[in-house]
Amino acid sequence: MNKFNKIVVLLLATLVLSSCSLPGLGGGFDEEGITITGGTTSEQQILGFIVEGMVEHYMDIDAQLINNLGSSTLNHQALIGGDANVSGSRYTGTSLTGELGLEPITDPDEAYQTVVKGFDQEFDQKWFPSYGFSNTYAFMVTKETAEKYNLKTISDLKDVISDFDLGADNSWMERKGDGYQAFVNTYDFDFNRVYPMQIGLVYDALAADKMDIVLGYSTDGRIKSYDLVVLEDDKHLFPPYDASPLATHQVLKDYPELNDVLLKLADTISTEKMQELNYQADNDLLEPKTVAQNFLNENNYFEDKEVNTKGDE
């Protein structure tokens, strides 16, 4: 094949690929049905399957789940673009500064009310009450370190932190509002050394004594598997990242019963429970769908749970 023909083939391949959608997007969306966005993390996938399971249990419909969306922005664009109409996991703090473009809000109730109002007015979507947990940034140490230095809160670090090496998410180092510089300003002390690293590596580094303290996520299953201690953010540096499902007003109009189905999930998953569910997926290697199905079966799909017919507060 000569050089010219190779170029033609490459151009044709590019055109074909550019016309294809991601799995579950584009041509796969059923405008007459319910399509749910999940994500790439175990938590996002578990919550997506929980919503799917609830929909299929209570409604005579086969829901679709898109589990290849790696960010809140992609979840948002899928709903805005009409490729989906329900989201299994959205987080107040993320969507406040992301989709709504607002400053961080540290009060959980205020943050929740702000996203409810903002998504209703700007995007014609309903932000539902929280599942009952917040997946926020969290400083954590080993159980041995916590006992040795009597550490329960971040403020307790003040007398020992100058000897501590921190491992933290790369993006946190430059993050505005609740990043590294905001930590120094809020707590008025600093670490001995700070090592930026991928968020998935911090837990292993701590467990292997390569770090004295790390910044991770409060619902990560490895907190349980490594027996780590999460320090209380006693000065409220980190905004709340309460997790909730979300749906477009159009799908709620098309399927009015969906509203009560999603409201049944309010306050059903504590932070400790979400850690446990993530642990089952990440440590026990159960498929997220299996974890979700077991959780729903154990709770009888919240059949007896009373629903607040007013929806949100």
Could you tell me if residue 111 is inside a domain?
A: yes
Q: Residue 104 has what pLDDT?
A: 87
The token duo for 57 is 């249990």
Parent domain of 94: 6-134+244-302
The token duo for 35 is 């399509």
Could you tell me if residue 171 is inside a domain?
A: yes
Residue type, 88: G
Could you tell me if residue 308 is inside a domain?
A: no
100's CB contacts (< 8 A; 6+ apart) are 114, 115, 118, 119, 122
Q: Residue 309 has what pLDDT?
A: 63
Q: Are residues 128 and 13 in the same domain?
A: yes
The token duo for 170 is 């790369």
- Cα 24 from Cα 274, distance rounded (Å): 26
Q: Residue 12 has what pLDDT?
A: 39
Could you tell me if residue 79 is inside a domain?
A: yes
- Cα 115 from Cα 93, distance rounded (Å): 9
Question: In total, how many domains does the chain have?
Answer: 2
Residues composing the chain: 313
Tens-of-pLDDT digits for all 313 residues of the chain? 444 444 343 333 333 333 333 434 444 444 569 999 999 889 999 999 999 999 999 998 999 999 988 888 999 999 999 999 999 999 999 899 889 999 889 899 999 999 999 999 999 999 999 999 999 999 999 999 999 999 999 999 999 999 999 999 888 998 888 899 999 999 999 999 999 998 889 999 999 999 999 999 999 999 988 999 999 999 999 988 999 999 999 999 999 999 999 999 999 999 999 999 999 998 899 999 999 999 999 999 999 998 876 544 4
Q: Which long-range contacts (CB under 8 A, 24 or more apart) does 186-192 make?
A: 186/235, 186/237, 187/154, 187/155, 187/157, 187/158, 187/235, 187/237, 189/157, 189/158, 189/161, 189/162, 190/161, 190/162, 191/161, 191/162, 191/164, 191/165, 191/166, 192/161, 192/162, 192/163, 192/164, 192/165
Q: Residue 225 has what pLDDT?
A: 87
Q: Are residues 118 and 256 in the same domain?
A: yes
Q: Are residues 126 and 176 in the same domain?
A: no
How far apart, in Å, are the Cα atoms of 5 and each of 2, 17, 44, 91?
5, 18, 44, 49
Report whether 267 contacts 132 (CB < 8 A): yes
208: CATH: 3.40.190.120
290: CATH: 3.40.190.10
Could you tell me if residue 309 is inside a domain?
A: no
How far apart, in Å, are the Cα atoms of 272 and each of 223, 275, 281?
10, 5, 15
Q: Residue 310 has what pLDDT?
A: 56
